[in-house]
Structure formats: C-alpha cells, structure tokens
Amino acid sequence: MKRLSILLFILYLIGCSSKATQVSTSHPIANNCSIYDSRKWHAQINQYQSENKFLLVVTGEVDLPSPAYKVAWSLGPTDRANPPGQRLFLSAESSTNAASIQVITPTKIEFKRKVPFPVYRYISIVCGGRLLATIRVEPSNN
C-alpha cells in the first residue's frame, strides 16, 4: 500500500511539472522573443533600376511589450529549392535602460534588402526560435 501511495505521488509530481513547462513556453520571454503577436505580413520583390539585383521588401505589424522596444532584422539562410525560400530573423530589445511604460504596443516594421533572386517560394519570419509567419512573396508590378 505504501509503494502505491509513493507511486501515485510521483506520477502527480510528473504531471504537475509537464503542465508548468507547457505554460511557461507559451510566454514570449520564455522563447527569447519579446514579440507577443504579429499580423498583416506582406512580402514583395522589386527590381533595381540599373543593377541585376532585386529588392526584397517585407512589412508587418508586431506587438511589443513597451514603446521603448526596437526591432532588429537579420537575413537567415536560403534553402536550396528552386525557387528558394528565405528565413528572416527578428529580435526585439529595449532601446533604453531608463524606465518606460509597460504597455503592449502595436508597431509597424519593415525589412528591405538587396537579394540575388527574382523569385522566392516563401519568406519565414522567426523570432527567438519561434516561427511568427510564413508568407508568400508577391511579384513586383514594374
């Protein structure tokens, strides 16, 4: 009877720890990403005037924890498919060490970069290991 009680207690503790893990990973800070939510993603390729290069433009809206936060973009790897897919990484950090109001702030963001490909299959937006969006790339109108 004593062994059964100990076994049930251990199973109870295991169940509690897995629920706590599920709750903590849903919080954006636990994923090393300060972005709470995102929406209105759009990607487009434009051709440069005199060069044989193209301009990738990605826009969207993210919810940051404070107006003091700034977003930084970095170009990630391109896959080897034809046409390729591209990963973009986002990070958001406070731009000041001073105190600021803590209110979720919708912020429009934009990424522009010269790229070698005229067509992309998709663009993936990743923040802190969390996939925020996978979007289709629209061809330019020019």
Nearest to 116 by CA among 41, 58, 72, 51: 51
Encode pLDDT of 113-140 as tens digits. 988 888 899 999 999 989 999 999 887 6
Encode pLDDT of 40-50 as tens digits. 999 999 887 66
End-to-end CA distance of the chain: 79
Encode pLDDT of 65-99 as tens digits. 888 888 999 999 998 888 999 999 999 888 777 77
SS (H, E, C) 16-45: HHHHHHHHHHCCHHHHCCCCCEEEEEEEEE
Q: Over 90: is that where the pLDDT of 24 sits?
A: no
Rounded distance, CA 69 to CA 71, Å? 7
